[in-house]
Chains A and B, each alone.
Chain A
Amino acid sequence: MATPSAAIPATRKRPVAGQLSGADGVAWAVTLFFALLILAVTLALVIQLWNNSAPSREKSGFGFLTSSLWNPVTDQFGALPFIYGTVITAFLALLISVPLGVGAAIYLSELAPTKLSNALTFLVELLAAVPSVIFGLIAIFTLVPLMRSTIEPALKSALGFTPFFTGPAFGVGYLTAGLILSIMTFPYIISVSREALMSVPREQREAALALGATKWESTWDAVLPFARLGIMGSIFLALARALGETMAVTMVIGNDPAIHASLLSPGYTIAAVVANEFTEATGKVYLAALVELGLVLFVLTMIINGLAQLLIVVTTKKGSAKA
């Protein structure tokens, strides 16, 4: 019979192996094993990426990241066009989804009646569940023709004097990919920003309103600054998602491994080129180059996700490693 003092657990348990006997020890060992499996598998993933990219890393070194030549025939591989495409499409996606998303989050947290807010948030979060290939399917048959026939020509005639909107309007390319990515990132921005806004203490708003601010002014000047870190966290989260997105982008980016200034031109992203060329990359170096691209993407998303988690943890009151 355990004595009361030993029986009352702290919320964060700290049992050492020696204190657990018999069946409890088994339970501890079993669950520890599976928890360690997560570590083991992730480690294995990094090791596999590192090893399988060795032929390419040895051949190109850091030049891989700066070269823009992708030629499977002469075995020369440079990652720059893909890094460029990945970054540009993600940037475009955020350009559209951050204002829209934060705006929507403000509406949902400050203005909408609770029931409506919950219902709408529920619906927006459902958007996060839509598989990427379905976005791609819809994009091919609806967005691409629309871009080609209406939107891109309009952009060309309005903004064609800048280098960003020149060239033929194909309907596929950086801009279309950015657009579809923005739709896919809405839920992340809205959901997390809304929570960040809702966790700002009521006193902030009331103080501002008491001083005669309009609702907008109170939101903009008193509430948003408090929620700033959480909103930034949501942006990084959305960024990480946009960087790694594969299927929808592959279907609308035009698959051109070169760097173009115009947003209307076709391009390529890391995820798209790996998806397209992996099953047929003949030759050690070619395959290793694709794995190396995967490694680059892994590192990139790891950094961005890390920043996102940090920012979100700091703002939400719920504390460690959740949200």
Chain B
Amino acid sequence: MTSRNARRNAVNNVMLSLTAVCAFLTVSTLFLILAYLVYNGGKSINPQFFTNLPVGQGETGGGIANAIVGSAEIVALASVFGLPVGFLAGVYLSEFSGKVLGFLIRYTADLLNGVPSIVIGIFAWALLVVPMHGYSTIAAGFALSLMLVPITARATEQFLQEVPRTMREGALALGASKWRSIATVIVPAARKGIMTGMILGVARISGETAPLLFTALGNQFWNSGLTQPTASLPVVIFNYATAPYEDWHRQAWAAGLVLLGLVLIANISARLIVSRGMSIPK
């Protein structure tokens, strides 16, 4: 009997230790990634990197200024298109929707959320690039906004739903009309969570590359307007990483560090705002 118990105990210890190993292995990949980027990217970050335009193959001293600005413009456009739509849709789902329509919209939002970003790129290309006869920042912004809408809508709905019933009832009991109670009581109460969802969504789309390939194309100069092609951070990383020039590799690492830094800062601050074990946006 005791040998059987001993075996069971041994199995117990081994398996539990294994799970600990699994946990630490997976966590350590994050640190490894960060370490690589910091080590390789940190070496190459200097002021010119942020202020110069790219230079030709084999020459040194280029920078990614236009890519940084390009990405900022694309993400800004995507936010302007996507955040209001997502927010208001979320309000509808939480405050107004009926069973059937609500289910349909939620299902569709989840569907849109799960569409691979390359397919979103194809759609934006067909819808905007072809009729406009050209690649543009707008097309890129539109493509990314499509990814932002479902995330924002779900986050908005989720946090609005969590506003306690007492607050809702209180507002209405004081004579507020429905829209007033939403605008002045319910939404402000859910403000933190909604903002978190928005920040996380924006952080996620700022790293997307695939849709940009068919919408923004690229530009070695400053882009000359929203209806023109533009450089962007993720595409620059992709192009430089696959090229042979040492200088470009260094810039790719540095750009990667910048991008990851921004994304992580956004994520960490968002989660600290709503410090609870929130599910990752799927």
Residues of A near any B CB (own CB < 8 A): 1-2, 4, 7-9, 11-15, 20, 22-24, 26-28, 30-39, 41-42, 44-45, 48-49, 52, 99-101, 103-104, 106-108, 110-112, 118, 120-138, 140-142, 183, 186-188, 190-192, 195, 214-217, 220, 237, 240, 243-247, 251, 271, 274-275, 278-279, 290-291, 294, 297-298, 301-302, 305-306, 309, 320-323
Would you list 9 pairs from A and B whose C-beta atoms are within 8 A, ordered by A residue? A24-B179, A38-B112, A45-B115, A104-B25, A126-B264, A130-B30, A131-B259, A138-B37, A291-B126
**CB–CB B115/A322 < 8 A:** no
State whether A100 and B22 are in contact (beta carbons under 8 Å apart), knowing that A131-B259, A140-B242 are contacts in the complex. Answer: yes
Q: How far is the CB of B235 from chain A (nearest CB, A)?
A: 8
CB A182 to nearest CB in B, in angstroms, measures 10
Q: Mark B13-32, 1 if CB is under 8 A from A, else 0.
A: 00110111111011101100
Q: Kindly identify, within residues 114 to 134 of chain B, every residue whose CB is under 8 Å from any CB belonging to chain A.
A: 114-123, 125-127
Q: Is the CB of B11 within 8 A of A216?
A: yes
What 1/0 flags go to B35-59 for Cβ under 8 Å of A?
0110010000000000000000000
Provide the B192-209 mask, 1 if CB < 8 A to any CB of A, else 0. Answer: 000000001001101111
Q: A27-B178, A279-B213 are in contact. Are A45 and B123 (CB under 8 A)?
A: yes
Contact of A278 (CB < 8 Å), options: B23, B36, B114, B122:
B122
B residues 216-262 with Cβ under 8 Å of A? 217, 234, 237-238, 241-242, 249, 252-253, 256, 259-260
Q: Which of these, B85, B111, B149, B260, contacts A305 with CB under 8 Å?
A: B111
Which single residue of chain A is at the shortest CB-CB distance from B241? A137
Chain B residues near A131 (CB-CB < 8 A): 206-209, 234, 259-260, 263
Please give the distance in Å from B274's CB to the nearest CB on chain A.
Answer: 12
- State whether A100 and B26 are in contact (beta carbons under 8 Å apart), knowing that A134-B207, A297-B119 are contacts in the complex: yes
**Does the CB pair A125–B111 fall under 8 Å?**
no
Q: Is residue B66 within 8 Å, beta carbon to beta carbon, of the partner chain?
A: no
Known: A7-B172, A44-B127. Is A279-B214 also a contact (CB below 8 A)?
yes
Which residues of chain B are within 8 angstroms of A42 by Cβ–Cβ distance?
108, 111-112
Of B126, B264, B280, the contact of A191 (CB 8 Å cutoff): B280
Known interface pairs A141-B249, A247-B209, A275-B118. Does A305 touch B110 (Cβ–Cβ under 8 Å)?
yes
CA distance A8 to B181 in the complex (A): 12
Of B11, B107, B179, B241, which one neighbours A27 at CB under 8 angstroms?
B179
Residue B146 CB within 8 A of the other chain: yes
Which A residues are CB-close (under 8 A) to B76? none
Bound Cα distance A32, B211 (Å)? 28
Interface of A is mostly: helix
Residue of A nearest to B267 (CB): A129
**B177 contact set on A, CB distance < 8 A:** 22-24
Residues of A within 8 A of B93 (CB): 35
- Chain B contacts of A216 at CB under 8 A? 11-12, 15-16
Q: Is the CB of A31 within 8 A of B122?
A: no
Partner of B30, one of A35, A126, A290, A301: A126
Name the CB-closest residue of A to B207: A131
Contact of B25 (CB < 8 Å), options: A100, A130, A217: A100
Interface, chain B (partner A; CB < 8 A): 8-9, 11-12, 15-16, 18-23, 25-27, 29-30, 33, 36-37, 40, 84-85, 88-89, 91-93, 95-99, 101, 103-112, 114-123, 125-127, 146, 149-150, 153-154, 158, 161, 165, 168-169, 172-173, 175, 177-180, 182, 200, 203-204, 206-210, 213-214, 217, 234, 237-238, 241-242, 249, 252-253, 256, 259-260, 263-264, 267-268, 271, 277, 279-280, 282
Nearest chain A CB to B176 CB, angstrom units: 9
Contact present for B234 and A124 (CB under 8 Å): no
Pick from B103, B263, B280: contact of A188, CB below 8 A.
B280
CA distance A245 to B210 in the complex (A): 9
Chief secondary structure at chain B's binding surface: helix
- Residue of chain B at shortest CB distance from A247: B209
Are the CB atoms of B123 and A49 closer together than 8 Å? yes
Q: Considering the chains assembled together, what is the distance between the CA atoms of A226 and B98 in angstroms?
A: 32
B29 contacts A127, C-beta separation under 8 Å: yes
Distance between Cα atoms of A189 and B282 in the complex (Å)? 11
Assess whether B175 is in contact with A2, with CB atoms less than 8 Å apart. Answer: yes
Contact partners of A302 in chain B: CB under 8 A: 111, 114-115
A323 touching B26, Cβ below 8 Å:
no
Q: Tell me whether A127 and B30 are in contact (CB under 8 A).
A: yes
Indicate if the CB atoms of A309 and B110 lie closer than 8 Å: yes
The 4 closest A-B pairs by CB, nearest first: A131-B207, A244-B116, A103-B22, A31-B92
User: In the complex the two chains form, is A128's CB within 8 Å of B12's CB?
Assistant: no
User: Are A323 and B150 in contact, CB atoms less than 8 angstroms apart?
Assistant: no
State how many angstroms separate the Cβ of A64 from the closest Cβ of chain B.
16
Given contacts A13-B95, A100-B25, A271-B210, contact A137 B253 (CB under 8 A): yes
Contact among A39, A192, A271, A279 for B104, CB-based, below 8 A: A39
Contact residues in A for B182 (Cβ distance below 8 Å): 27
Q: A294 to B19, Cβ gap below 8 A?
A: no
With both beta carbons as reference points, the residue of chain A lying nearest to B181 in the complex is identified as A9
B84 partner, pick from A34, A135, A214, A274, beta carbons under 8 A: A34
Besides the known contacts A107-B20, A129-B207, A131-B263, 20 further A-B residue pairs in the complex with CB atoms under 8 A apart: A2-B175, A13-B97, A14-B99, A35-B97, A44-B127, A99-B22, A104-B23, A124-B27, A129-B204, A131-B207, A133-B209, A133-B256, A136-B241, A140-B241, A188-B280, A188-B282, A195-B279, A216-B11, A246-B210, A278-B213
On chain B, the residues within 8 Å of A290 by CB distance are: 122
